[in-house]
Structure 1
């Protein structure tokens, strides 16, 4: 019974692939085993559903985090004096700012509240939110390097989470088919037993 759901294959993150029941008799050797087998398959189905919920949350969190990292990187590029992606039309404004040695920026205080700040150039340090209410100060070049690394890591994890969600979706479908086949087999077996007993 321990080998019943032992995976033949796993995905790159170690999530086991669901077996597909072609013949119920290969899994249920005797009618006495049915409840145990059926319960094992239902438990695996619930595990897949739980993993799917967890992976969907991870995917949503990463998708929400990525724009913030990209925005931070863009701002660090502006502070360094270079143009960030999509800023080609702002050459004149940036030249003027370079001359004044100041940058005027709008920043968010709350969901619906923004204010202005004037930043004196040159800027050599920035503070970054690292999560869990932690902020750390970094030299500007180090902050840019860290943000590049975090963006790359976030994009890779997004791809992995998306692949895991798809893998789990397929395995949930397989396990739902398996449990339906087991249930139908048991119903048919009981009907046959009742018919045999009534003769």
Structure 2
């Protein structure tokens, strides 16, 4: 039945959009803590920028590997922008950029969560409507068969 096929196609499209949005949300869930940690570190460096002595800190090299370092006071930081691109920024510019990126990432996360809720509602609605159309079609066919049997038995 063409109507049921259209409903199934719509459900498939909604499920694809749901999967795509869930992947985007998952990426943001990983990105937000990274941006937040980077922002905290740059703010820490700014706070100690005027100290005459080097700042001693521990930083993460890998998921389970940390190293200690002494950092001389600095005026500029280098930030990874992605796609193997790193740029140098003044500390204040870096803080502004990171705050903006963090704000945008949180807004995108909220939008993705809202989109996922909408898509789930649409999928549920389409599945219910598909079941209703299917049941209507089954009943219609049964009624036709009954009418056909009655017509053939009366002749």
User: Same fold per TM (> 0.5)?
Assistant: yes
Say whether 1:75 aligns with 2:41.
Answer: yes
The structure where helix makes up a greater share of residues is 2
Partner of 2:94: 143
Q: Give a deviation string over 1:81-137, Cα, whole Å, max 9, x none.
A: 16xxxxxxxxxxxxxx9655211111122221111111111x111111212332222
Q: Give a deviation string over 1:131-184, Cα, whole Å, max 9, x none.
A: 233222211111111001101111111111111011111111100011001111
What runs of 5+ residues in structure 2 fail to find an aligned partner? 151-155
Partner of 2:111: 160
Once residues 39 and 157 of structure 1 are traced to their aligned partners in structure 2, the CA distance between those partners, rounded to angstroms, is 33
**SS of equivalent residue, structure 2 residue 81:** strand
Once residues 145 and 130 of structure 1 are traced to their aligned partners in structure 2, the CA distance between those partners, rounded to angstroms, is 14
Partner of 1:197: 148
- Aligned partner (choices 30, 37, 61) of residue 27 of structure 2: 61
Match runs of 1:53-132 below 5 Å: 53-81=19-47, 100-121=52-73, 123-132=74-83
Once residues 49 and 174 of structure 1 are traced to their aligned partners in structure 2, the CA distance between those partners, rounded to angstroms, is 12
Query: How many pairs are equivalent?
Result: 150
Say whether 1:133 aligns with 2:84.
Answer: yes
RMSD: 1.6
What runs of 5+ residues in structure 1 fail to find an aligned partner? 1-34, 83-96
Runs of 4+ deviating beyond 3 Å: 97-100
**SS of equivalent residue, structure 1 residue 75:** helix
Output the TM-score relative to the length of structure 1.
Answer: 0.71
Once residues 101 and 39 of structure 2 are traced to their aligned partners in structure 1, the CA distance between those partners, rounded to angstroms, is 10
Once residues 131 and 12 of structure 2 are traced to their aligned partners in structure 1, the CA distance between those partners, rounded to angstroms, is 14
